[in-house]
Chain A
Amino acid sequence: GAVVSQHPSWVICKSGTSVKIECRSLDFQATTMFWYRQFPKQSLMLMATSNEGSKATYEQGVEKDKFLINHASLTLSTLTVTSAHPEDSSFYICSARVRGRSSYNSPLHFGNGTRLTVT
Chain B
Amino acid sequence: GQQLNQSPQSMFIQEGEDVSMNCTSSSIFNTWLWYKQDPGEGPVLLIALYKAGELTSNGRLTAQFGITRKDSFLNISASIPSDVGIYFCAGPHGSGAGSYQLTFGKGTKLSVIP
Contacts and interface: CB of A to CB of B under 8 A. Distances in A.
Nearest to B97: A103
B99 A49 contact: yes
B92 interface: yes
A93 B86 CA distance: 15
A110 interface: yes
A18 B59 CA distance: 44
A15 to B, nearest CB: 23
Interface in A4-45: 4, 6, 31-32, 34, 42-44
Interface string A37-69: 000001110100101000001000000000000
Interface in B22-61: 30-31, 33, 35, 40-45, 48, 50
Contacts of A43: 88, 104-107
Interface in B90-104: 92, 94, 96-104
Interface residues of B, number: 27
A111 B44 CA distance: 9
A112 B42 contact: yes
B46 to A, nearest CB: 10
B43 A110 contact: yes
Given A43-B107, A103-B92, A107-B33, A112 B41 contact: yes
Interface of B: 30-31, 33, 35, 40-45, 48, 50, 88, 92, 94, 96-107
Interface of A: 4, 6, 31-32, 34, 42-44, 46, 49, 51, 57, 91, 93, 95, 97, 102-105, 107-113, 115
Closest 5 CB pairs of A and B: A110-B42, A103-B100, A43-B104, A113-B42, A43-B106
